[in-house]
Amino acid sequence: MIGIGYDVHRFAENRPLILGGVEIPHTMGLDGHSDADVLCHAVADAVLGALGEPDIGFFFPPGDPACKGISSLEILEKCRQRCEELGYRLVNIDSTIIAEAPKVLPHRDAMRQAMGSALQLDPARVGIKATTNETMGFVGRKEGIAAMAVAMVVPL
């Protein structure tokens, strides 16, 4: 079974930028109740979607104090655990980050490692790509970052 996920976060001052579980040097971070890792959130929604489950907001409500500042790698771990509880295993993910900046390629291997560890996947099964929005829209104006992902699960 296959699921898709999408997420977007606006930039915020005085926050670290976390993408794929890795802190990336940048002038601003992303705004959110958790660590606002837009890539991990898109992947989590893809995994949950493949399982026919509700989105991450159902499992990790933005107003829940227990979720305040939560690492999105922990969210991925819980999504992987949900796979096992329902009798599935994750096969692979593929994802795309949409941002004008920062450059993702220098951090791609570390992101694949971190997400692969959280999902118990070989990093070779964690696809991460990046593109710009060609200066159009909120992403093009450098107001935030978007990400999309697909995930495949199969019965155990």
**In the chain, what are the domains?**
2-155 (3.30.1330.50)
Classify residue 102 by its DSSP letter.
S
pLDDT at 85: 97
Taking 90 as the threshold, does the pLDDT of residue 48 lie above it? yes
Show the CA angle centred on residue 117, arms to residues 105 and 22, nearest 5°.
40
**Residue among 118, 124, 146, 123 at smallest CA distance from 10:** 146
**Lowest-confidence segment of 12-16, 61-65, 99-103, 127-131 by average pLDDT:** 61-65
> Is the pTM value of this prediction over 0.85?
yes
